[in-house]
Structure 1
Amino acid sequence: MDKSLDEIVAAKRTTRRGKPRGVRRGGARQQILGNTPKSADPAQRTRRAAPAAAPAVATTPFSEKIIVSNLPADVNEAQVRELFKTTVGPLKDVTMHYDAHGASKGIATVVFHKKGDGAQAYNQYNNRLIDGS
């Protein structure tokens, strides 16, 4: 205990070799960030500089599962099931989410039989009021 607190903190901030933490030569961090040294192999610099081209075609999500939120507290699982079954298509599962006291959180997970039905339900009901509420 013959050192001051500042000396102890300064000693802990350095590694065994006397360099401050986080100061390293080369290594994985530079490769990830793209900060390669000037003396790097030209072939490696070219590979890093030319990222792979992204596909130009936009893909459409085909989902079979959606999460419905902001439901009123009095809405139950049977009502959610009936709504999506009649307007979108057959369902595999409907799960309501409840808190520790058994009250509805106003969130339901709906899983459809067909893959595209989730996307259809999303397009049909996203940001829409149901029954004026």
Structure 2
Amino acid sequence: MATALDKSLDDIISSRPKNGRRRPNRNPRTAGTGGAKTGGAAGATRARYAGAVPTANGNRVVAPASLVNIQPDATKIIVSNLPRDVNESQIKELFASTVGPLREVNLHYDAKGNSKGTASVTFSRKGDGNKAFTQYNNRLIDGG
């Protein structure tokens, strides 16, 4: 009996079983598309980040409100794309005067002590988080 090394490539291929089975596509994002990422989750991702590019004045636009899961009695929001020179007292002043009383404001810093440009704001009353979200989502504050 000849070993596989003694056979030609054509003989080896023809001797393999032809059961027609292929490995199933296990990725739910590309299942049924032949591997192409069109529409579906990839399309939603593109739509979510389509506006998240710098505008002419350098500010960034965040995800539209329709893509965010909103709870009806939210008390906490995350504020992002803040200028690096904004401090906690300015954030407290803005939200306390326009939305309602605050329980806590945390501005996030990196290891060097520089602001990361994000803050978490916790309101005292239920629903004030939603009010702040609808009032300030995708909006520039103080002209930029």
Which TM-score band (shorter chain)? 0.5 to 0.7
1:90-118 Cα shifts (integer Å, max 9, x gaps) = 00000000000000000000000001100
CA RMSD of aligned residues (A): 1.2
Q: What pairs up with 1:4-23 in 2 under 5 angstroms?
A: none
Task: Please name the residue that 1:87 is paired with.
Answer: 98
Distance 1:106 1:81 in 2: 15
Task: Please name the residue that 2:143 is paired with.
Answer: 132
Task: Please name the residue that 1:73 is paired with.
Answer: 84
Deviating above 3 A after TM superposition, structure 1's stretches of 4 or more consecutive aligned residues are none
Distance 2:73 2:127 in 1: 5
Letter in 1 for 2:133: Y
Cα offset for 1:60?
5.6
Letter in 1 for 2:112: H
Distance 2:80 2:71 in 1: 23
Q: Does 1:114 align with 2:92?
A: no
Aligned partner of residue 101 in structure 1, secondary structure: coil
Larger radius of gyration: 1
Distance 1:60 1:119 in 2: 8
Structure 1 stretches lacking a partner, 5+ long:
1-58
Structure 2 stretches lacking a partner, 5+ long:
1-69
Task: Please name the residue that 1:105 is paired with.
Answer: 116
Letter in 2 for 1:108: A
Identity value in percent: 64
TM-score, normalising length: structure 2: 0.51
Change beyond 3 A, Cα 1:123–1:79: same
Distance 1:109 1:122 in 2: 12
